[in-house]
Structure 1
Amino acid sequence: MINRTMRRLARLLAIGLAFPAMQPVAAQDTGPDAPPINDRGQWLPSSVPTSDDVLRIPVPADYNAPKGSFVLVGGRLFDGTGAAARPATIVVQGKRITAILKPGEQAWPADAVVYDVTGKTVMPGLIDLHTHLTYVEKFDAGFQDAINSGADSAMRAVSRMGIFLQSGVTSVRDVASAGDVPFVLKRWQASGRIAGPRIFAAGQLITATGGHGDGLGTAPENPLGTVRLASGPDQWREAVRLQFRQGADLIKLASEYSQAEIDAAVDEAHSLGLPVTVDAETRYIDMAIKAGVDSIEHPLPRSDAAIALMAKRKIASVPTLVPYRIIQRNSGGYFGSTSRRFELNETTIVEMMRKMKKAGIKMGVGTDLVTDWIDYMPGAYIDELRAFVEVGFSPREALVAATKTSAEILRMADRLGTIEPGKLADIIVVDGNPDEDLNALERVTTAFVNGRLMLKDGRVHPPAHVEKPMPKR
């Protein structure tokens, strides 16, 4: 009996369960390399036009393309590739950039609209990889009604879309919003009927009973809910399929989960051609790495071995230091959360980001502005960029992370993130030199999304109504 007890204790000690103060077992490089995402477009010749999202669905050649052309003359171009800014003229026809001209060259359509941007910087639109467009504004007596109202959720999202646009953000990755709202808004924005950034939607956050996100007060089967609860591998696969059916561009998972559950969800998402990102911490990050996820959100605790494996397997990160700074400064700490049972403060989050940079992990920019925190824009986004500078990026490199690198994490680098011929015309004009002084991003004067003017003189520029002739007798 004593020998059996001693053997059991030895096993517990070996896996780090005997004493809570012990470090969790570090991630081991025993799992397979990240399973590849099924390239569902491999059967399409390059000549076949596809939708401007991760799904790459065949569409007509002029799909969602505006008419006409425009030119930006007299400004300095920061193209997002990492190259130094230079004087240049940018030519756009329809929704695509067609030429980058040297100053003085005039090779554009005669009927093109010419914008004089002398003294300003032209650059790719910023990307925010971690947003929740429909999140409630506050947790008060009426928050439950707000959560369960699709109309209320949509109006909150539209309001936030305008603020993002005014801040120079032309693409957002929505990583959990209410029901079908983000998908409806994605279609309306893409067709030019409402002004705002492009939306790359994950749909509902998938988590387990008691997992992170469970507790927002929505019933497990509520179609208007932000969270989808799942239990067991089969339900996790089904939850992924439900988001795909809606039109998801990616899948968002959250701990806590079993290894079998996250394995099933990642396998299902990748088979459908969708990348997977997770909100996870400690041992759940180890499990996510083993499952082969594509990116990991937040600066939450993980072992040095896990960081090394992330770098080896090219798993990206979206650090999101801003929300934790807001929580720390407003509340003094992250309290009352069963999924945040560890030390989390301004020092730990910067140190985690610094470790990931040192390891060579690809990092994009996300703000995770929930409740009424959208009111901190554009300062919140600029603060996130300053965090990149704090851990060793130059201002120019931080802007590349906000554009080119974030587009790569979106799996949209062939169309977004830089200003180059052939790319989609998501362009902002800044009064100043943001590649030298990030504070210049407080002065975004103009924004084009998909070649459409959506911000003019710093104000949201809604699409004008085009009269349709009455039918003739």
Structure 2
Amino acid sequence: MGRATGKQGKKWGRYIASLCSIIAVGVALGSSAGIAQDFHDRRTVQFSQQITADNPQRTPAVSRKQGFDGTLVLTGGRIFDSVKAQAYAGSLVIQQNKIVAVLPAGSHDWPVDATVIDVTGKTVMPGLIDMHVHATYPTPQTPADMHASEGHATLRALRSLQILLENGITSVRDMSGPLNAPYIISEWLEKDMAPGPRVFAAGHIITGTGGHAADRPLTAIHSAAYTREADGPDDWRKAVRETFKLGASHIKIASHFAPDEVKAAVEEAHRLGLKVTCDCETIYIAMAVEAGVDSIEHPLPRTDATIQMMAKKGIAAIPTMQVYQGGFDTRGDYAGTASRRFSMNSQSNYDVLKKMIAAGITIGVGTDNIGGAFGLSPNIYISDLKFLQKAGYTPAKALMAATRVNAQIMDMGDKLGTLEPGKLADIIVINGNPDQDLDALSRVDTVIRNGNIVVKDGQLFVPRHVSAPLPKPSPPENLH
């Protein structure tokens, strides 16, 4: 390339100086307290006005029109913004797919041509986030030969995810599925091509040979279609890279593994700018925590020392209490899998939850919704919130865990989780006061996802298609 001269040279000089400044800020951020030094946060090397995909990969994107066509105002209700624990009277102003203002009661500072919705007697709050679902997994009605079908998995995910959307869940972290189905549904919904929550996909679980989701008895969901078995640090690094390449928003690993394997996976994911969560138990939790994972799934057994180490290193937990309670209530125990060779019951799981809260561990909310369990929505989600309430959370704090904290854990706190100007317009309207009574979450009136009204009067709402015009009037007038 030839040397730039004149105006072009000055332009590139300013660009390089600006980029160097960004990189310097990134280095400073990386060495500050609370941020892992090996985590390559792509925001530190991007301009503040850079448009990116709305997922943790943060790939630069071209601007496109999204969301509501004009200005949408929700007024007359209570606002629970998840920034503070108290609801207050006010109005929320949305333009296209962004929140542009949160106004005090009595203010009408919005365009005269705005579409105004009266939400008197209702609560406006951020959309709920479920940190652990398996949307593409088979249901009891799925034919045996369709369990690992990519197409069938994508279609059954659409139905399962619509159930969640109807119940106010506007984002999910999908924790594994067959072949490319999780990525297909994630990309489809990110482009608003169908009604559904945002899907932040892990794709395949990565585990050691014979580990969780790869153990006997072999079934379709314990097969290579769902799970990537890896052996040795180099193979674990390769598995992370493969998952990133396919479009993962985060990396999910599972026991069993060796210390050098989990360390390699975490290092590789963090270099790529992705968070790592671990579905693991007993000694494997300690290994994962030592390696620097970002969160631990489930209330599986761990020592008090491991809990303290989680707290010290700032590692979050997603307890998924109800999925295990449901198993105890229906089957009486948890047995029959070689990746769960330990004892547990309702009390032992609850003890783990209480100890984690007492230690000051950041707690997120996820259900481990899978297959036919989506039909239990919203009861299963509300139950997970009630476990937090039973362990000492107020309803308001539980809601903040379900929104703001969840967004932060999955590295989307700058775009989701609170009602603030500049955030993506993922909003729900509840008939009642869920910050005082969690059961009110079963009364979802309106859901706005990416600025689009997708649930109206409690029902899924799909606007009528507007036809594009033909190139010319037809049939041609000169036909005879």
Instruction: Tell me if the contact between 2:78 and 2:123 (Cα under 8 Å) persists in the aligned partners.
Output: yes
How far 1:82 moved relative to its partner? Answer: 2.8
1:266 is matched by which residue type in structure 2?
V
1:397 is matched by which residue type in structure 2?
K
> Counterpart in 2 of 1:269?
269
Identity rate of aligned residues, in percent? 46
Please state if 1:156 is matched with 2:169.
no
> Counterpart in 2 of 1:435?
435
Instruction: Tell me if the contact between 2:99 and 2:422 (Cα under 8 Å) persists in the aligned partners.
Output: yes
2: CA distance, partners of 1:342 / 1:217: 22
Instruction: Tell me if the contact between 1:192 and 1:463 (Cα under 8 Å) persists in the aligned partners.
Output: no
> Counterpart in 2 of 1:250?
250
Cα deviation, 1:380-410, whole Å, max 9, x if unaligned, reads 1000000000111011100000011111101
> Counterpart in 2 of 1:464?
464
Instruction: Tell me if the contact between 1:34 and 1:290 (Cα under 8 Å) persists in the aligned partners.
Output: no
1:409 is matched by which residue type in structure 2?
I
Instruction: Tell me if the contact between 1:318 and 1:364 (Cα under 8 Å) persists in the aligned partners.
Output: yes
Instruction: Tell me if the contact between 1:100 and 1:420 (Cα under 8 Å) persists in the aligned partners.
Output: yes
How many pairs are equivalent? 437
2: CA distance, partners of 1:169 / 1:220: 28
2:99 is matched by which residue type in structure 1?
I
> Counterpart in 2 of 1:93?
95
Q: How does 1:355-370 map to 2 (within 5 A)?
A: 355-370=355-370
**2:80 corresponds to which of 68, 78, 81:** 78
> Counterpart in 2 of 1:409?
409
1:93 is matched by which residue type in structure 2?
Q
Cα deviation, 1:334-387, whole Å, max 9, x if unaligned, reads 010112122211111111000000000001000002231111110110000000
> Counterpart in 1 of 2:14?
none
For residue 206 of structure 2, give the secondary structure of its aligned residue in structure 1. strand
Instruction: Tell me if the contact between 1:220 and 1:229 (Cα under 8 Å) persists in the aligned partners.
Output: no
Q: How does 1:213-228 map to 2 (within 5 A)?
A: 213-215=213-215, 216-218=218-220, 222=224, 225-228=225-228
2:338 is matched by which residue type in structure 1?
T
**2:58 corresponds to which of 28, 36, 56:** 56
Cα deviation, 1:412-449, whole Å, max 9, x if unaligned, reads 11111110111111000000000011000110011001
1:124 is matched by which residue type in structure 2?
P
Cα deviation, 1:34-70, whole Å, max 9, x if unaligned, reads 6531112322110211111101111223364543220
Aligned CA distance change for structure 1 residues 35 and 319 (closer, same or farther; 3 Å): farther
2: CA distance, partners of 1:152 / 1:428: 30
How far 1:220 moved relative to its partner? Answer: 9.2
Instruction: Tell me if the contact between 1:34 and 1:293 (Cα under 8 Å) persists in the aligned partners.
Output: no
Q: How does 1:275-354 map to 2 (within 5 A)?
A: 275-354=275-354
2: CA distance, partners of 1:226 / 1:68: 42
1: CA distance, partners of 2:68 / 2:426: 13
Q: How does 1:49-198 map to 2 (within 5 A)?
A: 49-62=51-64, 64-138=66-140, 142-143=143-144, 145-198=145-198
1: CA distance, partners of 2:222 / 2:382: 37
Instruction: Tell me if the contact between 1:82 and 1:397 (Cα under 8 Å) persists in the aligned partners.
Output: no
2: CA distance, partners of 1:177 / 1:470: 41
> Counterpart in 2 of 1:259?
259
1: CA distance, partners of 2:222 / 2:436: 48
Cα deviation, 1:250-280, whole Å, max 9, x if unaligned, reads 0000001111211111111111111000000
For residue 262 of structure 1, give the secondary structure of its aligned residue in structure 2. helix
1: CA distance, partners of 2:62 / 2:209: 43
Instruction: Tell me if the contact between 2:147 and 2:221 (Cα under 8 Å) persists in the aligned partners.
Output: no
1: CA distance, partners of 2:446 / 2:209: 45
How far 1:218 moved relative to its partner? Answer: 4.6
For residue 327 of structure 1, give the secondary structure of its aligned residue in structure 2. helix
What is the root-mean-square deviation in Å for CA atoms of aligned residues? 1.7
2: CA distance, partners of 1:238 / 1:109: 53
Instruction: Tell me if the contact between 1:194 and 1:463 (Cα under 8 Å) persists in the aligned partners.
Output: no
1: CA distance, partners of 2:255 / 2:141: 23
Instruction: Tell me if the contact between 2:38 and 2:267 (Cα under 8 Å) persists in the aligned partners.
Output: no
1:84 is matched by which residue type in structure 2?
Q
2: CA distance, partners of 1:34 / 1:299: 25
Q: How does 1:23-62 map to 2 (within 5 A)?
A: 36-62=38-64
Greater Cα shift, 239-248 or 456-465? 456-465
2: CA distance, partners of 1:248 / 1:255: 19
> Counterpart in 1 of 2:31?
none
Aligned CA distance change for structure 1 residues 155 and 254 (closer, same or farther; 3 Å): same
The TM-score with structure 1 as length reference comes to 0.89
> Counterpart in 2 of 1:22?
none
Aligned CA distance change for structure 1 residues 133 and 266 (closer, same or farther; 3 Å): same
> Counterpart in 2 of 1:418?
418
1:428 is matched by which residue type in structure 2?
I
The TM-score with structure 2 as length reference comes to 0.88
How far 1:463 moved relative to its partner? Answer: 4.4
2: CA distance, partners of 1:139 / 1:76: 41
2: CA distance, partners of 1:463 / 1:292: 45
Aligned CA distance change for structure 1 residues 219 and 189 (closer, same or farther; 3 Å): closer
For residue 347 of structure 1, give the secondary structure of its aligned residue in structure 2. helix
Q: How does 1:363-402 map to 2 (within 5 A)?
A: 363-402=363-402
Instruction: Tell me if the contact between 1:445 and 1:456 (Cα under 8 Å) persists in the aligned partners.
Output: yes
1:263 is matched by which residue type in structure 2?
K
> Counterpart in 2 of 1:7?
none
Greater Cα shift, 435-444 or 61-70? 61-70
Instruction: Tell me if the contact between 1:285 and 1:306 (Cα under 8 Å) persists in the aligned partners.
Output: yes
Instruction: Tell me if the contact between 1:280 and 1:300 (Cα under 8 Å) persists in the aligned partners.
Output: yes
1:333 is matched by which residue type in structure 2?
D
